Chains A and B, each alone.
Chain A
């Protein structure tokens, strides 16, 4: 597969010959890709193509599942996350935002500082500072600053999702994985999350799984197309969507096969 990414940008995550089996099923086939730092990389492809499975391998969300076998290497900043990194340490550095907003049934404040508390921060002032910084970074501080002690479950879907992003940011990760983060949201909330992602890439590396082609073209710098466990094409988003190299990518993004 042709590599068409900008070679001048530093690689944050380097994946080499990654294979994943669920029992007999070969779900990821020899994936090799470099994910650049401080850019948004979109993973696209039909349901069941392996894109979410692939994303989960980046913070080891599936290696403990029964019957899963993984081989190949995933390097975060040059360090092998399967061989030489502890999973807790890894998940501090690689955060994840899910399709359905999943706030804890706690106050807004407690949701945001959940991670830092687990990591041993007890100082109330310090936690407040983290809460404010994270909510500001998630562009939701102004909406929530007067109701930090109210339940997070009372927020709208879009606000809950931004709160979940703030919760991810609170532990100061390097990478944020987003698994279809706007598929449950209306267009206005979707727009806010997209804008947020574009702001966050200044400080974080973002990998996003999306079924929304327009979203991929709007916000991502790079796009990888997955099909039947294989990464068919990976390149700059503008190139992939204007002039895909592989006929299968062309057929998928133009809707020529369902």
Chain B
């Protein structure tokens, strides 16, 4: 006999609402890319306005999670779901916030003299967009391979961010009077990089829901730095010999 059927239904509803929040955020990303390509202020305003709706979705899902924890004391896969939803919606909401951050900078750029857009922006937007889309597809289908590919893709976006940063640094040196424009582009690239990070974090929670393994892929730049330091020091000691 199946018991706790109301609880099961509520969990199912929450799953649908997290998916729906993901889809809404995906639309915000599409609009952001479109606004960036067209420097459209009305589209930016639309993105900024729609953010309240996503914030409200986050609050509603969070309240449902808290109610479930209080009333149902979930365990095992139920617990993993509820705990993960709470973390995932916060990442999704941050991705939507980053769309607004980018929209604000597009509005600034639209009021300034045009400059040549740094080369790797299209690619960076495309990679990030695909990561987020794959993340929500992985969530919908419980697809661990897809989640794992998302996690691996984060390095690509990090690499593109680094290239854009170098390019912008170069451009600022060459045309110092355009520094405002390039700083705006730099900030936009940083937000895209953050969106990919949030996507990676969501993918980690999907793995936790399905397998129970909790391995967070936080922005572990400090680890990369440590690894680099270790490599440098071993090379140094090699030279000393």
Contact = CB atoms under 8 A, between A and B. Distances in A.
Contacts of B215: none
Contacts of B75: 213, 217, 241-242, 253-254
B120 interface: no
A241 B2 contact: no
Contacts of B212: 242-243
A133 B35 CA distance: 76
A29 B212 CA distance: 29
Contacts of A242: 75-76, 79-80, 212
A243 B80 contact: yes
Nearest to B78: A254
Given A242-B212, A243-B212, A254 B2 contact: no
A34 B36 CA distance: 64
Interface residues of B, number: 16
Interface string A232-244: 0000000001111
A84 interface: no
A258 interface: yes
Contacts of A249: 76
Interface string A192-225: 0000000000000000000001100100000000
Contacts of A217: 75
Interface string B75-91: 11111100000000000
A254 B74 contact: yes
Contact of B79 (A241, A255, A257): A241
Contact of A214 (B7, B73, B78): B73
A256 interface: yes
A180 interface: no
Nearest to B8: A256
A255 B3 contact: yes
B4 interface: yes
A257 B61 CA distance: 27
Interface residues of A, number: 15
- Of the listed residues A214, A243, A249, the one surrounded by the most CB atoms of chain B closer than 10 A to its CB is A243
Given A242-B212, A243-B212, A250 B77 contact: yes
B1 interface: yes
Interface in B1-38: 1-4, 7-8
B1 A258 contact: yes
- Of the listed residues A244, A250, A254, the one surrounded by the most CB atoms of chain B closer than 10 A to its CB is A254
Contact of B76 (A214, A254, A257, A258): A254
Contacts of A244: 76
Contacts of B2: 256-258
A55 B70 CA distance: 32
B209 to A, nearest CB: 11
A250 B76 contact: yes
Nearest to B212: A243
A253 B3 contact: no
Given A242-B212, A243-B212, A255 B76 contact: no
Contacts of B73: 213-214
Contact of A257 (B1, B80, B211): B1
A129 B201 CA distance: 59
A254 B75 CA distance: 6
A250 B80 CA distance: 12
A213 B73 CA distance: 9
B76 A253 contact: yes
Contacts of A253: 75-76
Nearest to B7: A255
B3 A258 contact: yes
B84 to A, nearest CB: 12
A241 B74 CA distance: 9
A214 B75 CA distance: 9
A189 B33 CA distance: 60
Given A242-B212, A243-B212, A254 B1 contact: no
A258 B4 CA distance: 9
Contacts of B79: 241-242
Given A242-B80, A243-B76, A255-B7, 20 more contacts: A213-B73, A213-B75, A241-B79, A242-B212, A243-B80, A243-B211, A243-B212, A244-B76, A249-B76, A250-B77, A253-B75, A253-B76, A254-B4, A254-B76, A254-B77, A255-B3, A255-B4, A256-B3, A257-B1, A258-B1
16 contacts: A213-B75, A214-B73, A241-B76, A242-B76, A242-B79, A242-B80, A242-B212, A243-B76, A243-B80, A249-B76, A253-B76, A254-B76, A256-B2, A256-B4, A256-B8, A258-B1
What are the 7 closest A-B residue pairs judged by CB atoms, nearest first? A243-B212, A255-B4, A258-B1, A258-B3, A241-B75, A255-B3, A253-B75
